[in-house]
Amino acid sequence: MKKQTNVRLLVATIGVGLLLLTGGCGSQKTAATSVEEQYIPVEVLPAAVQTLVETTNFSGKINSDQDLSLVPKMPGKVSSVHIQVGDKVSAGTVLFTLDTTDLQKAVDMASFGVRSAETNYQRTKEQIDLAKTNLERQQQLFAAGAISKAQLETAESQASETPLQLVQIQWDQAKVSLQQAQEGLGNAVMTAPAEGTVTAVNVKPGEMASSALPSVTLTQLNALNVTLNVPENIVNSLKVGEEAKVTIPSAEAQELTGRISNIAPAADARTMLYAIKVAIDNPEGKIKPGMFAKVEIATKSRSDVLAVNSEAIVTKNGKSLVYVVENEMAVEKEVTIGLDTGAKVEITKGLNSGEQVMIKGQTLVGQGSKVKIVGGSQS
């Protein structure tokens, strides 16, 4: 009985040993497999030849080059105002009128002066015509010896046209005075010289209107511009006609496309900045002078250059590096960078077109690290 018990213990011991041996071998195999399958997941994009554009953002103010500040040609008391702020007017629309009482009196007096001068001219002409007829008779009598030389000279003096020339000048002057008076009367009615929107009305009935203050301001709102101020290191990179992206938050408008319409040839003496204007259309009239705008303008560009995403650049020990994938391994490459647009970076040296450049996971790898591409684009 004791012998059977010992045999059973021996069999159990051998079984446990075999089980432990088998389990140990399995663990070693799993660990080896884990080591073989270790890698760093990365995303890649191929280095490619493309055009890079660097843009700069500015803030500016909306205004109109076609603001018309209207003043009466002559001062006077306002009798009526026919418009208000916000009205859209066309050329010839009556804006306001001045009192015409004194102006009409001036016209009446000038008209009387013209009639008087004309009457004087006609009377003088008749007198000279009679004097010329008398001169012909006096000349015949003088030839016959019937009158003296002095009598002939008197007749010649009376027939002179000099007095007629003088009254002609007086008549012409009277006509000019009438024309001026009539123009003054006409100027009592202020009309719009062009199409526009009324943005200011500074006169009221009963008040005096003069050239000291614009009576009415008109603005053409369908075509406006943004005025910007740029530094000297940027102004020479801008060109008239170049496109610009314009955003006006207060107008709740979508991004607009404007064009540079003017570049100041000299800097402002106070700010040392150069004023430029970006023209924009305003077909819906939502944009108003005085609003602020954000403008994005291309200030640098490079064509046909090799470029990568800016996030691909890793800086180590003052060097610019990228990591590319070759045979599922990370390969470190030192590169020289050129234009940096923020999103893209120009590579001038150290990289070839088409190489798979890491854009994610690149900070986790080193030379020779085993990697696996899990995202991005490989072509």
Give the long-range contacts of residues 100-107, CB within 8 A, separation 24 or more: 100/185, 100/188, 102/76, 103/76, 103/181, 103/184, 103/185, 103/188, 104/185, 106/181, 106/184, 106/185, 107/178, 107/181, 107/182, 107/184, 107/185
Q: How far apart are CA 313 and CA 322, in angstroms?
A: 5
Contact 47, 307 (CB under 8 A): yes
Query: What DSSP string runs through 223-234?
Result: EEEEEEEE-HHH
Q: Interior CA angle at 276 toward 341 and 304, to 5°?
A: 30
Contact 198, 216 (CB under 8 A): yes
Give every CB contact of residue 231 below 8 A, 6+ residues apart in sequence. 272, 273, 274
User: What count of Cα atoms within 13 Å lies in the side-chain half-sphere of residue 66?
Assistant: 14
Q: How far apart are CA 278 and CA 309, in angstroms?
A: 31
Q: What is the pLDDT of residue 253?
A: 65
Q: What is the pLDDT of residue 357?
A: 95
Nearest to 80 by CA among 210, 188, 186, 184: 188
Alpha helices in 187-273 (DSSP H): 232-235
Query: Which tokens is 61 given?
Result: 């103010």
pTM above 0.85, yes or no: no
Q: Interior CA angle at 321 toward 351 and 56, to 5°?
A: 85
Query: What DSSP string runs through 127-181?
Result: HHHHHHHHHHHHHHHHHTT-S-HHHHHHHHHHT-SHHHHHHHHHHHHHHHHHHHH
Q: What is the pLDDT of residue 379?
A: 65
Q: What is the pLDDT of residue 7?
A: 37
User: What count of Cα atoms within 13 Å lies in the side-chain half-sphere of residue 87?
Assistant: 16
Q: Which fold has domain 69-99+188-219?
A: OB fold (Dihydrolipoamide Acetyltransferase, E2P) (2.40.50)
Q: How far apart are CA 207 and CA 188, in angstroms?
A: 14
Q: What is the pLDDT of residue 376?
A: 79
Collect the ranges in the chain with pLDDT lower than 70: 1-37, 252-253, 379
With respect to CATH, is domain 41-52+303-376 assigned 3.40.630.30? no
Give every CB contact of residue 329 below 8 A, 6+ residues apart in sequence. 368, 369, 370, 371
Nearest to 334 by CA among 321, 315, 345: 321
| Domain spans in the chain, listed from the N-terminal domain onward | 41-52+303-376, 69-99+188-219, 101-185, 220-301
Q: What is the pLDDT of residue 74?
A: 85
The total number of residues shown for the chain amounts to 379
Q: What is the pLDDT of residue 24?
A: 46
With respect to CATH, is domain 220-301 assigned 2.40.30.170? yes
Strand positions, DSSP E, 189-263: 189-191, 196-201, 208-209, 216-219, 223-230, 243-247, 256-263
